[in-house]
Amino acid sequence: MSRYTVQQGDCVESIAAQFGLPWEQVWNHPDNVELRKHRDPNVLLPGDFLSIPERILRWESCVTDREHSFVLKGRSSKLVLVLKDFDKPRASEKYVLSVDGLLVSGTTDQNGRLEALIEPGARTGRLLVGPSSALEEYTLQLGHIDPIQEVTGIEARLRNLGYRSLAEFQKKYRLDVTGQPDEPTLKKLRDEYGC
């Protein structure tokens, strides 16, 4: 058993991949019960501690003098992005996504959503969206959002959604405009951001 100190950009999937383990085995380890109470496996805070179980070797019996195929599972992570122009989904928008050298192109669905399989340890990406005559470029820092319970996590979500303040967000969604991160506000922010 070892303890890992979370760094900016880490998530449970990327950490587990470093140790050659399925992310569920790491996340569900009994020593991580306290972390599970306060964190999402995709949104960790730098400085959090994660217990890493020992790898268990697996043996497979097979007949000699024959060719056998083995499939290693759990080597990809899913990146999901939802593109909006304020509240309106950017439906049927052409895009090109580059994540750590992997190129994926396609068209967003009716909700402005796109999905791509990426390496668990991917850290950066670039997204080009729109017609070739008016391409918009976005830089992606994967795993760099702090938990919503942290001020830095709230501020980053607001900024990424295009809001200048918590009060502006509260006003938009007809919440009590207090400028404070009360539970209804955090729930709505989590729902709008996706995590």
* Length of the chain measured in residues: 195
pLDDT band at 74 (very low <50, low <70, confident <90, very high): low
pLDDT band at 73 (very low <50, low <70, confident <90, very high): low
In a domain, residue 170? The reply is yes
Q: N- to C-terminal Cα distance for the chain?
A: 29
Instruction: Give pLDDT, residue 87.
Output: 81
Average pLDDT over residues 12-38: 94
Instruction: Give pLDDT, residue 32.
Output: 97
Residue-number span of the structural domain to which 184 is assigned: 151-193
Instruction: Give pLDDT, residue 57.
Output: 79
| 3-state DSSP assignment of residue 92 | coil
**Taking the CA of residue 88 as centre, how many other CA atoms within 13 Å lie in the half-sphere pointing to its CB?**
5
Domain end, chosen from 52, 67, 88, is at 52
If one counts the domains in the chain, the total is 3
pLDDT band at 55 (very low <50, low <70, confident <90, very high): confident
Examine the pLDDT at 127 and tell me if it is beyond 80. yes
Instruction: Give pLDDT, residue 195.
Output: 87
For residues 33 and 10, membership in a common domain is answered with: yes
39-53, 55-69, 108-122, 131-145, range with the lowest pLDDT: 55-69
Instruction: Give pLDDT, residue 56.
Output: 79
The CATH number given to whatever domain includes residue 120 is 2.60.40
In a domain, residue 41? The reply is yes
Percent of the chain with pLDDT over 70: 98
The CATH number given to whatever domain includes residue 23 is 3.10.350.10
For residues 122 and 172, membership in a common domain is answered with: no
For residues 121 and 81, membership in a common domain is answered with: yes
For residues 81 and 134, membership in a common domain is answered with: yes
Examine the pLDDT at 108 and tell me if it is beyond 60. yes
Helices and strands: H and E segment counts in the chain: 6, 10
Instruction: Give pLDDT, residue 62.
Output: 87
Instruction: Give pLDDT, residue 158.
Output: 95
Averaged pLDDT score across all residues of the chain: 92
Short-list 96, 101, 130, CA closest to 118: 101
Q: Do residues 6 and 50 make contact, with C-beta atoms less than 8 angstroms apart?
A: yes
d(CA 181, CA 119): 34
Q: Do residues 94 and 131 make contact, with C-beta atoms less than 8 angstroms apart?
A: yes
Examine the pLDDT at 75 and tell me if it is beyond 80. no
Instruction: Give pLDDT, residue 59.
Output: 83
Chain mean position to CA 194: 9
